[in-house]
Amino acid sequence: MRDLTRGNPGKQILIFALPMLLGNVFQQLYNIVDTIIIGRYIGTDAVAAAGASFPVIFVLISLVIGITTGTTIIISQYYGAKDYEKVKRAIDTAFIILFFGSIFLTVLGLLLIGPIWKLLALPEHLVPDATLYFSVYAIGLVFMFGYNGVSGVLRGLGDSKTPLYFLIIATILNIILDLLFVLVFGWGIAGVAVATVMAQGISFGLSVLYLNRYHQLIRVSYSGLVFDRDIFRKSLRIGIPTGLQHTFVSLGMIALLRIVNGFGTNTIAAYTIAGRIDSFAAMPAMNFSMALSTFVGQNLGANKPERVKSGYRSTLTMTTTISLVVTIVAWLFGRDLMRVFTPDAEVIQIGYEYLVIVSSFYILFSAMFTTNGIMRGAGDTLVPMFITLFSLWVLRIPGSYFLSLRMGTDGIWWGIPMAWFFGWLFSWIYYRTGKWRSKAVVKYADNDQRVE
C-alpha cells in the first residue's frame, strides 16, 4: 500500500501509475491476442462478429463498474484519513455489489442479445458467431467483476503492483488457452471466449487466495462480508454518475457501431482492429487519470488540498509527452500495426485512415481524462457525466453520422476528436471553478474553492 499524501506529487503519481499502465498493457493483450488469432486463423467475418460484441458487453458492465468506482474513491479518502474500520466496510460493500451485479447482468444479457443484434442492424451472417462469443463471455462476468473489484480496492489503498502480477498470469494463460482451443481443438470463435473466461477465473481465484493469506485489510469471504448501507448510499452518489457515464459512452459506441455497420463487413473489421490499437494508445491517459484520482482522494482525505494542483500539472505534462510519442508511432507504423491482425488490404487501409485521424488528437484526449481524474478523485462525478454525455450524444454521434454522409468512413472517425475537444474545454472550465472540492466524502473546513 502506498501513502500518496507525502513526497513529490509528480513522482508519486508516476510510480503509482506505471504498474497500472503495465497492467493495462497486459489487459489489452487479452483483446489483442484474441483479435490476432481470430483474424489470422478464423477470418474477417469472425473479427467483425467479436468486434460487435464488445460494445454490448461494455453496456452491461458499465453501471456496476461505475458504482464500484465510487466505492474505490471512498476507500482512498478513508484510507487517506486513516479510518481503517470504514475502509474495511467499504471493501466488503464493494464485493457484495459486484457479486450480485454480475449475476443479474449475465441473465439480462443472455435474454436480450437477440433483439440487440436486430437493433444494431448487424449483418445476418455475423449473428451466429457474435451470439456464441457474447454468450460465453457473459457467463464469465462474475470472474471479470471479481478480479476488477480486487484491483479497484487495491488501487484505492495505493497498491497498484499486486493486481499487475495476477494480470500477467491471466494474460499468459489466455494466450496459451487461445492457441490450444483454436489451433488444437478447433473450437473457433467460442474457443477464444472460453479461453478468456477461464484465464480471468483462474486469476481471480489466485488473487483471492493470496489476499486472504497475506493482506491485512482485505479478506474475501462471501460468508463474512458486511454490507454498510451508508457507504452504499455514498457509493451510489459518487458511482451512479460515473456508471451512467460509462453506460451512455458504451451506448454511444453501439450507436457509432450502427453507423459503421452500414459500410459493410470490412469496415466493421477495420474499426474493430483499429480500436484495439487505439485502446493501447489511450491507456497512458486513462491510467494516469486513475492514479491522479487516487492521489486526489488520499490528499483531500488527509486535508492536503494544496498538493492537488501540483499533481494535476505534473500529470498533464507526463500525459502530453506520451501522447506526442504515440501519435508519431501511429502515423509512421499504422499500416504495419494493422497488418499484424489481418492480411486484407482494404481492411488495413480503412483502419490506417482511422488511426491517422484519431491519433492526431491524442493530446486532447489525455487532457480531458486528466482533468476528469481530478473531479472523480474528489467525489464529484455528476458534472463529468453531463460533460461526457453532451460531447458524445450532441457532438460525436450526430457529427459522425452527418460527416459520414459526405466523407464516407473518414467522416465517422472525424466525429471522435471533435467530441474530445469540447469534452476537454468544458472539463477545464469546471476545474477552474474549484467547486469539485466541496464533494469530498471526508469534510474539512475550507472556504477557498477557487483554483488558480
Q: What angle do CA 418, 354, 386 make, to 5 degrees?
A: 30
The full set of domain ranges for the chain reads: 9-439
DSSP element (H, E) containing 137? helix 127-139
Q: How far apart are CA 330 and CA 115, in angstroms?
A: 37
Q: How far apart are CA 74 and CA 151, in angstroms?
A: 15
Q: Which pLDDT tens digit goes with each residue over 322-337?
A: 999 999 999 999 999 9
Instruction: Compute CA 235 distance to the chain's CA centroid, rounded to the nearest angstrom.
Output: 19
Mean pLDDT by 10 residues, the chain (452 residues): 77 86 75 81 84 79 71 78 81 83 89 88 88 91 84 73 82 90 90 90 85 70 76 79 74 83 89 85 85 86 85 93 92 92 90 94 92 86 83 89 92 92 92 81 52 40
Q: Burial level of 121, CB count in 10 A (0-12/13-18/19+)?
A: exposed
Global pTM value: 0.68
Q: How far apart are CA 196 and CA 29, in angstroms?
A: 11
Q: How far apart are CA 148 and CA 101, in angstroms?
A: 13
Q: Which pLDDT tens digit goes with each residue over 249-284?
A: 777 777 888 899 889 889 988 998 898 888 778 888
**Contact present, 288 and 370 (Cβ < 8 Å):** yes
Of the candidates 281, 252, 267, 264, the residue with the CA atom closest to the CA atom of residue 32: 281
**Contact present, 65 and 139 (Cβ < 8 Å):** no
Residue 319 DSSP SS3: helix
**Contact present, 341 and 39 (Cβ < 8 Å):** yes
3-state secondary structure 33-86: HHHHHHHHHCCHHHHHHHHHHHHHHHHHHHHHHHHHHHHHHHHHHHHHCCCHHH
